Amino acid sequence: MGTYTIKLPDVGEGVAEAELVEWHVKIGDPVQEDMILAAVMTDKATVDVPSPVEGTVKWLGGEVGDTLAVGSALVKLDVTGEGGTNEPDKDPSEGTEKTGDESPATPKTGASDVDDGKAASRSPGRPAEKAAARPTTSPGAAGGGLPRKPGEKPLASPAVRRRAMEAGVDLRRVAGSGPAGRISQTDLDGYLDGGAAPSAGRGLVADTAVTDVRIVGLRRKIAEKMALAKSRIAHITYVEEIDVEALEELRAALNRDRHEGQGEGRPKLTLLPFLMRAMVTAIRDQPALNALYDDEAGILHQHGGVHIGIAAQTDAGLVVPVVRHAEARDIWDCAAEVARLGEAAKAGSAKREELSGSTITITSLGALGGIATTPVINHPEVAIVGVNKMEVRPVWDGNRFIPRKRMNLSSSFDHRVIDGWDAARFVQRIKALLENPAMIFVEEGR
Residues assigned a catalytic role: 415, 419
Gap between the Cα atoms of 343 and 254, Å rounded? 23
φ, ψ dihedrals at 294, nearest 5°: -90, 95
Q: Are 359 and 367 in contact (CB under 8 A)?
A: no
Rg (CA), the chain: 33
CB neighbours (10 Å) of residue 115?
20
Omega before 158 within 30 of 0, i.e. cis: no
**CA–CA gap between residue 441 and residue 273 (Å, rounded):** 12
> Across-strand partners of 408?
241
- With CA atoms as reference, report the closest residue to 323 among 277, 268, 254: 277
A 10 A CB-CB count for 86 gives 9
The secondary structure of residue 83, as a DSSP letter, is T
Q: Which amino acid is at 26?
A: K
385: nearest Cα among 433, 425, 427: 427
